[in-house]
């Protein structure tokens, strides 16, 4: 081995954990935002599992991923992106779709699984994904950003003046629970017409079913939309409009430059983005609102894991 090779620093690696309403995943991620092959592990979550079963799923993916750490690598931290609400200061989670976890000490439980002295940073998953978009995704070069996930639920996060904004509890940017005018869909949070209750994948499919749609999944709705099915088109248009209304309201509040949207249901059709843009464009007298760019995610399907890793590798922009 040459002296140069011998002196090369060990690669800095983050252990990334993404906790969502249907699954928990973990992987090792480099400081270039690349998921290391063979390190990704997944277990199901969901509202039907007990608190202990959910923690066991987290324990399994963290332990299995930690075991894949290359011998020449340095584990520099653990980043956890969790479905909200969260208590950032105390490392607690209370995911809306996992009612058995209320004030659950997820950060400390994960810290007990990794070597002593390795920092564990927990943030809401929407903030983590926004950080990833700003780092290696569609929001590179912009310093006033909202990242969004439109999937089983609707999440979001904020970067303003180039720094993350999480608020006093860690839940700033939770755009899924902004109410949209003209919609009366009841939401699990207790609100009415919340964006998540209107525009998430399951809620969009449920609305379509009430109109007579025979399918039961977002994939079936996507196929029906592509075939010109009137109910599918109406359902997607409705969700896109709600997205646009919420984005316009958020831009009115914090003067966003770009909103990057990912998540499974965001791929239902590119027209979803057009419907959202049309709703924003109605704010004709507010150029600072209509300027906002609504774009698809610039991340791969690894985006949530890259976001969790960004909590470690981009800690310099965390507030």
- SS3 for the chain is CCHHHHCCCCCEEEEEEEECCCEEEEEEEECCCCECCCCCEEEECCCCCCHHHHHHHHHHHHHHHHCCCCCCCEEEEEEEEECCCEECCCCEECCCCCCCCCCECHHHHHHCCCCCCCCEEEEEHHHHHHHHHHHHCCCCCCCCEEEEEECCCEEEEEEECCEEECCCCCCCCCHHHCECCCCCCECCCCCECEHHHHHCHHHHHHHHHHCCCCCCCHHHHHHHHHCCCHHHHHHHHHHHHHHHHHHHHHHHHHCCCEEEEECHHHHCCCHHHHHHHHHHHCCCCCHHHHCCEEEECCCCCCHHHHHHHHHHHCHHHCC
**Which residue's structure tokens are 């993404």?**
18
Q: Residue ranges per domain, the chain?
A: 3-124+302-317, 138-296
Cα–Cα distances in Å, from 194 out to 77, 94, 182, 245? 35, 18, 11, 11
Q: Which fold has domain 3-124+302-317?
A: Nucleotidyltransferase; domain 5 (3.30.420)
Rounded distance between C-alpha atoms, residue 19 and residue 148, angstroms = 16
Same fold, 3-124+302-317 and 138-296: yes
Low-confidence ranges of the chain (pLDDT < 50): 1-5
Considering only the top CATH level, what class is 138-296?
A: alpha beta
In this prediction, residue 161 carries a pLDDT of: 97
């Amino acid at each position: 081995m040459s002296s140069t090779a011998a002196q090369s620093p060990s690669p800095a690696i983050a252990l990334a954990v993404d906790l969502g309403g249907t699954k928990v995943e973990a992987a090792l991620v480099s400081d270039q935002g690349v998921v290391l092959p063979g390190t990704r592990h997944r277990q199901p979550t969901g509202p039907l599992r007990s608190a202990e079963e959910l923690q066991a799923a987290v324990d399994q993916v963290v332990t299995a991923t930690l075991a894949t750490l290359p011998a020449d690598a340095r584990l520099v931290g653990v980043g956890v992106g969790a479905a909200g609400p969260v208590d950032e200061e105390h490392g607690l989670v209370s995911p809306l779709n996992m009612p058995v976890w209320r004030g659950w000490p997820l950060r400390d439980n994960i810290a007990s699984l990794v070597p002593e002295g390795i920092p564990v940073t927990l943030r809401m998953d929407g903030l983590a994904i926004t950080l990833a978009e700003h780092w290696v995704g569609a929001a590179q070069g912009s310093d006033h950003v909202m990242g969004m996930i439109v999937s089983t639920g609707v999440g979001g996060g904020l970067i303003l003046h180039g720094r993350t904004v999480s608020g006093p509890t860690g839940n700033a940017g939770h755009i899924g629970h902004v109410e949209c005018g003209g919609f009366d869909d009841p939401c699990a949070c207790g609100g009415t017409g919340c964006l998540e209750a209107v525009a998430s994948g399951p809620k969009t499919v449920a609305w379509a079913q009430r109109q007579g749609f025979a399918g039961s999944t977002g994939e079936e709705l996507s196929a029906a939309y592509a075939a010109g099915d009137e109910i599918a088109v109406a359902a997607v248009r409705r969700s896109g409009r709600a997205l646009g209304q919420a984005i316009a309201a958020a831009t009115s509040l914090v003067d966003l430059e770009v909103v990057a949207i990912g998540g499974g249901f965001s791929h239902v059709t590119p027209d979803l983005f057009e419907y959202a843009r049309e709703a924003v464009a109605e704010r004709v007298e507010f150029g600072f609102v209509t300027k906002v760019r609504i774009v698809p995610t610039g991340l791969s399907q690894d985006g949530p894991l890259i976001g969790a890793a960004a909590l470690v590798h981009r800690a310099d922009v965390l507030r």
